[in-house]
Chains A and B, each alone.
Chain A
Amino acid sequence: MKKLITNWNHYPVVEADEISFDYDRELTNKLNGFQTIAHGNGRCYGDASLSTSVINTLRYDKILSFDEQQGIITCQSGILLSDLLQVIVPRGWFLPVTPGTKFITVGGAVASDVHGKNHHVDGSFSRHVVSMSVLTGLDEKVICSPTQNADLFWATCGGMGLTGVVLEVSFRLKKIETAFISQKQIKADNLDEAMVLFAEHSDHTYSVAWIDCLKTGNHFGRCILILGEHSTQGEVKSKRDCLMPKEKSLFSMPCHLPSFVLNGWSVKAFNALYYAKNYQKVMNSCVHYDGFFYPLDSILNWNRIYGRKGFVQYQFVLPLQNSKEGLKNILTRINKMGMGSFLAVLKLFGEQDDLISFPMKGYTLALDFPMRPGLLDFLDELDEVVADYGGRIYLSKDARMKKEIFWDTYPKAGVFKDILEKYDPSHRYVSGLSKRLKLKG
Chain B
Amino acid sequence: MSRNALILGATSDIAVALARKFGTNGYSITLAARNLEKIRATQADIKIRQRVPVEIVSFDANDVESHQAFYESLPAKPDVVISVFGLLGNQTEAQQNWKSCQDILYANFIGAVSILNIVANDMEQRRHGVIIGISSVAGERGRQSNYIYGSAKAGFTAYLSGLRNRLCKSNVHVLTVKPGFVKTRMIENIKTPGPLTSLPSRVADDIYNAMAKGRNTIYTSSIWRPIMYAIKSIPEGLFKRLKL
Interface size on A, residues (CB 8 A): 14
Q: Which of B11, B41, B185, B188 contacts A64 (CB 8 A)?
A: B41
The yes or no answer to A22 lying at the interface (CB within 8 A) is: yes
Give the contacts of B28-69 with A (CB-CB under 8 A). Answer: 37-38, 41-42, 44-45, 48-49
Candidate in A23, A62, A63, A87 with the most chain B CB atoms within 10 angstroms: A62
B37–A64 CB distance below 8 A:
no
Known: A1-B189, A63-B49, A87-B49. A23 touches B44 (CB 8 A): no
The yes or no answer to A65 lying at the interface (CB within 8 A) is: yes
Size class of the contact patch on chain B: 10 to 19
The yes or no answer to A185 lying at the interface (CB within 8 A) is: no
B37–A23 CB distance below 8 A:
yes
Q: With a CB–CB cut-off of 8 A, which chain A residues contact B189?
A: 1
Q: With a CB–CB cut-off of 8 A, which chain B residues contact A62?
A: 41-42, 44-45
A64–B44 CB distance below 8 A:
yes
The yes or no answer to A281 lying at the interface (CB within 8 A) is: no
Q: Which of A20, A23, A87 contacts B41 (CB 8 A)?
A: A23
Shortest CB distance A236–B (Å): 25
Q: Which of B44, B185, B188 contacts A63 (CB 8 A)?
A: B44
A20–B48 CB distance below 8 A:
no
Known: A62-B45, A63-B48. A22 touches B38 (CB 8 A): yes
The yes or no answer to A323 lying at the interface (CB within 8 A) is: no
> What 1/0 flags go to A57-81 for Cβ under 8 Å of B?
0010011111000000000100000
Shortest CB distance A300–B (Å): 15
A20–B44 CB distance below 8 A:
no
Question: Nearest CB to that of B190 among chain A residues?
Answer: A1
Question: Nearest CB to that of A18 among chain B residues?
Answer: B188
> What 1/0 flags go to B86-122 for Cβ under 8 Å of A?
0000000000000000000000000000000000000
The yes or no answer to A239 lying at the interface (CB within 8 A) is: no
18 A-B pairs within 8 Å (CB atoms) are namely: A1-B189, A22-B11, A22-B41, A23-B37, A23-B38, A23-B41, A26-B38, A59-B185, A62-B41, A62-B42, A62-B44, A62-B45, A63-B45, A63-B49, A65-B44, A65-B48, A76-B41, A87-B49
Interface residues of A (CB under 8 A from B): 1, 20, 22-23, 25-26, 59, 62-66, 76, 87
Interface residues of B (CB under 8 A from A): 11, 37-38, 41-42, 44-45, 48-49, 185, 188-189
The 10 closest A-B pairs by CB, nearest first: A62-B45, A62-B41, A63-B48, A63-B45, A64-B44, A66-B48, A1-B189, A87-B49, A23-B38, A64-B41
